[in-house]
Amino acid sequence: MAKNLSGDLLVASANRLTDGVVVFLDDAGEWTKRLDRAAVARDKRAGEILLERAKAEAFTVVDPYLVAVSEGDDGVLEPLSLREKIRVSGLTFEAIAADAVRYA
Amino acid sequence: MRCVMPDTHFYRPNFYQYDDYDRTLVTERVEQFRDQVRRRLSGELTEEQFKPLRLTNGLYLQLHAYMLRIAIPYGTLSSRQLRKLADIARKYDRGYGHFTTRQNLQLNWIKLEEAPDALAALAEVDMHAMQTSGNVIRNVTADHFAGAAIDEIEDPRIWCEIVRQWSTLHPEFSFLPRKFKIAVTGSPNDRAAVRVHDIGLRLWRNEQGEVGFEVIVGGGLGRTPMIGKTLREFLPKDELLAYLEATLRVYNRYGRRDNLYKARIKILVHEVGAEKMREEVEAEYADIKGGALKLPAETIEAIARQFAPPALPHRPAVVGAVEALKLEDRDFALWLKSNVSPHRLAGYRIVTASLKPAGAPPGDASSVQMEGVADIADAYSQGEIRVSHEQNLVLPHVAVEDLPAVWLALGRLGFAEANVGKITDIIACPGLDYCALANARSIPVAQSISNHFAALARQHDIGDLKIKISGCINACGHHHVGHIGILGVDKNGVELYQISLGGDVDFGKTALGTILGPAVAADKVVEAVDALVATYLDARSAGERFVDTYRRIGAQPFKDRVYAVV
């Protein structure tokens, strides 16, 4: 069963400046594409500190903000909102491929 | 207003040709943006400083990546331009693009560091992304059948181009209270939705036989949908810019800047009333009428020459092979019925390539598909393509005898679905899968409906039915004017969909839809639409479209059936 669905667990996210890719701040102050490496704030105060850190490390990203996540028994983090789930997992449908339809 | 002879290198007889001024402006802008990107990447510019600069160049930051919104002026493309768009999508994006309800193209996976190169590539074919964002006059849209329609009084693109030249980087209107959208139609059958734009212009002929504009102001969708009010019944054509300037000045002066959600001109018109608005505009117009903005006849003629109809050779209006195929092949017959429209010449037709094959994201086309359409346009439609606000592509000049070949060629691309105007010809915004503003997904909902109603015979039995889906109240999917409108909302983290009925953009019948009842869950939308369709099929009279039946019998029977199943 997932622990904490109230949104008390927070990670800092942003979009990478060069290409807009979704990234998360890790414990070392680096931005990573992997949610499982994100630094987790476990209460509101820790969240405020995490956001301040994220803003201080924002040279290579755009507009850091906090994302509410849940943590499963296995430690797997998952965003609570659909918007953030889509940011992590990508499109929820299959996009058309560049060469999917051949013109003969 | 400039008017020069076209550069022969780019010359096509029925397209506006960039002159040196246009080309210099666009290429200089690319280099300016290149420098701005360099300074942003080096940290010289903060995001706060850079954001307005990138937005001015059509570059948004969405959920997963930057999105480049490319202007397609009045929805007209040459085959060369469409090939270039395909090339840019392949080189700088993921090999596909999304045609929008404003006749633009959005590329959803652009890298900031490559955006200047993409813009430079666009400039090679006289295109850009300027004024596709920000509080400025946006890309002017037009009837996608312009220059070919049988009911056309005059080609609206001439006036769109005049407005484009006047409004591009207009210093007085670069900081409007809010964005500003203009649409122009030259036909009585409005295919440009002019009553739901900030300004809608409708060309018509008065009793004296003169052609002028009905000027409609203060329409719009979004969170406060409004149908525009006619400020001027008949405006002489050569006074168009003076009247637009007067209207924009009044808006610039009195439009609200204190509240983002009340800043559009529709709110101003609503708050002061159409009479007061007209009084203010006419007073301003009286001051500038007949002045520098009066369009000289030679300028209008010079621009009109660039939109001169292509010299189409005589082709037979009735072709035995076409008639035979119509009898032999039901799919071809259905396609002729829904995707082929009359042309001003008897031997030609306008063909709509449906970008809504069953289950596909509405309005999306791959690079290969774009190139395929460009090839078909070269072979069969004078190298011309149009983008419709209903997110399809249009081949405006196809000879009747070429229809079978065009049908087959479009079929190989997946664009010959005989569903134009039918229940699966759905307008949908990108929604929460891409958009930073969205509350709910649009595309998967459209796909579910499209798959459910995929059978063409059933679609044709249901008849004309426009479904329009928006993923948020900003209404990029025009849900307010869908016969069935679907609006995605977020309720405590759950996607729900509000259904409205009775919207319409047909001229003289323009109407905003009425909400049916409580929003339904995502997995119940198809059932709800199915119940709406069943209600219509049970109640319709001969020749009645869905929306006609709704108007006749009202919402209750639809409501009863929908809420019995969801």
Domains parsed from chain B with CATH numbers: 20-123 (3.90.480.20), 148-305 (3.30.413.10), 320-413 (3.90.480.20), 427-565 (3.30.413.10)
Q: What band does B130 get if pLDDT is binned at 50, 70 and 90?
A: very high
pLDDT in tens, A52-64: 999 999 999 999 9
CB distance B444–A92 less than 8 Å? Answer: yes
| Minimum distance, in Å, between the CA of residue A70 and any CA atom of chain B | 14
CA–CA gap between residue B551 and residue B559 (Å, rounded): 14
Chain A positions touching B112 (Cβ under 8 A) are 17-20
| Among candidates A62, A93, A103 on the partner chain, residue whose Cβ is nearest the Cβ of B443 | A93
- Read off the tokens for B455: 């059978």
For B219, B421, B424, B497, B498, the CA distances from B484, given in Å and listed in that order, are 20, 13, 12, 12, 10
Q: What DSSP designation does B12 have?
A: -
Query: For chain A, what are the domain ranges?
Result: 9-89
For A26, A56, B113, B281, the CA distances from A31, given in Å and listed in that order, are 6, 12, 18, 53
| Minimum distance, in Å, between the CA of residue B324 and any CA atom of chain A | 25
pLDDT in tens, B376-404: 999 999 999 999 999 999 999 999 999 99
CB distance A92–B441 less than 8 Å? Answer: yes
| Minimum distance, in Å, between the CA of residue A88 and any CA atom of chain B | 9
Chain B positions touching A104 (Cβ under 8 A) are 412
Nearest chain B Cα to A84, which residue?
B63
| Phi, psi angles (nearest 5°) of residue B432 | -70, -10
**pLDDT number for residue B497:** 98
CA–CA gap between residue A50 and residue A8 (Å, rounded): 13
pLDDT in tens, B7-39: 433 345 467 888 899 999 999 999 999 999 999
**pLDDT number for residue B493:** 86
Chain A positions touching B445 (Cβ under 8 A) are none
CA–CA gap between residue B124 and residue B118 (Å, rounded): 10
pLDDT in tens, B142-200: 999 999 999 999 999 999 999 999 999 899 999 999 999 999 999 999 999 999 999 99
- Read off the tokens for B127: 């295109």
The count of CB pairs under 8 A between chains A and B is 105
DSSP class per residue in A9-71: EEEEEEEETTT--EEEEBTTS-EES-GGGB--B-SHHHHHHHHHHHHHTGGGEEEEEEEEEEE
**pLDDT number for residue B14:** 66
Chain B positions touching A99 (Cβ under 8 A) are 95, 366-368
| Among candidates A63, A93, A101 on the partner chain, residue whose Cβ is nearest the Cβ of B366 | A101
CB distance A59–B95 less than 8 Å? Answer: no
CB distance B95–A92 less than 8 Å? Answer: no
Chain B positions touching A100 (Cβ under 8 A) are 366, 368
Taking the CA atoms of A35, A36, A38 and A41 in sequence, report the sign of the dihedral they define.
positive
DSSP run (H or E) holding B375: helix B367-380
Query: Cβ distance B36 to B50 under 8 Å?
Result: yes
Residues in contact with B309: Cβ distance below 8 Å, sequence separation at least 6, in sequence order:
B14, B147, B344
Closest by Cα among B317, B318, B370 to B96: B370
Chain B positions touching A93 (Cβ under 8 A) are 361, 433, 443-444, 447
CB distance B493–A82 less than 8 Å? Answer: yes
B115: left (phi over 0), alpha (psi -120 to 50) or beta: alpha
Q: What band does A8 get if pLDDT is binned at 50, 70 and 90?
A: confident
CB distance B413–A103 less than 8 Å? Answer: yes
| pLDDT for residue B507 is more than 80 | no
CB distance B96–A92 less than 8 Å? Answer: no
CB distance A103–B364 less than 8 Å? Answer: no
Q: Does A65 touch chain B (CB under 8 A)?
A: no
CA–CA gap between residue B195 and residue B504 (Å, rounded): 10
Report the Cα B519 to chain-centroid distance in Å: 27
For B46, B105, B446, the CA distances from B365, given in Å and listed in that order, are 35, 10, 16
Nearest chain A Cα to B447, which residue?
A93
Place of tokens 């924009």: B248
Q: What band does A4 get if pLDDT is binned at 50, 70 and 90?
A: very low
| pLDDT for residue B329 is more than 50 | yes
Closest by Cα among B75, B154, B369 to A96: B369
CA–CA gap between residue A29 and residue A54 (Å, rounded): 8
- Read off the tokens for B35: 């420098």
Q: What is the mean pLDDT of chain A?
A: 90
Please compute the mean of the pLDDT values over residues B507-515 and round it to a whole number: 91
**pLDDT number for residue A7:** 58
Q: What is the pTM of this model?
A: 0.94
| Among candidates A80, A91, A104 on the partner chain, residue whose Cβ is nearest the Cβ of B433 | A91
SS3 state at B137: strand
CA–CA gap between residue B109 and residue B414 (Å, rounded): 23
CA–CA gap between residue B11 and residue A5 (Å, rounded): 63
Nearest chain A Cα to B88, which residue?
A98
**pLDDT number for residue B17:** 83
Please compute the mean of the pLDDT values over residues B269-298 and round it to a whole number: 96
Nearest chain A Cα to B364, which residue?
A96
Place of tokens 């009044």: B250
| Minimum distance, in Å, between the CA of residue A93 and any CA atom of chain B | 6
| pLDDT for residue A38 is more than 60 | yes
| Among candidates A87, A96, A99 on the partner chain, residue whose Cβ is nearest the Cβ of B364 | A96
Chain B positions touching A103 (Cβ under 8 A) are 368-369, 371-372, 375, 409, 412-413
> A residues 1-60 near B, CB within 8 Å?
15, 17-22, 59
In degrees, rounded to 5, the angle at the alpha carbon of residue A45 between the alpha carbons of residues A39 and A46 is 15
**pLDDT number for residue B516:** 98
Query: Cβ distance A63 to B47 under 8 Å?
Result: yes
- Given 3-state DSSP classes, what are the helix, strand and coil percentages for chain B, each rounded to the nearest 5? 40, 20, 40
Taking the CA atoms of A33, B60, B51 and A47 in sequence, report the sign of the dihedral they define.
negative
Burial bucket for residue B489 (CB in 10 Å: 0-12, 13-18, 19+): middle
| Among candidates B41, B94, B441 on the partner chain, residue whose Cβ is nearest the Cβ of A17 | B41
CB distance B367–A17 less than 8 Å? Answer: no
Question: Angle, to 10 degrees, between the axis of helix B156-167 and the axis of helix B297-306?
Answer: 110
Query: Cβ distance B284 to B209 under 8 Å?
Result: no
Report the Cα A71 to chain-centroid distance in Å: 13
Query: Cβ distance B204 to B188 under 8 Å?
Result: yes
Burial bucket for residue B527 (CB in 10 Å: 0-12, 13-18, 19+): middle
| Overall residue count recorded for chain A in this entry | 104
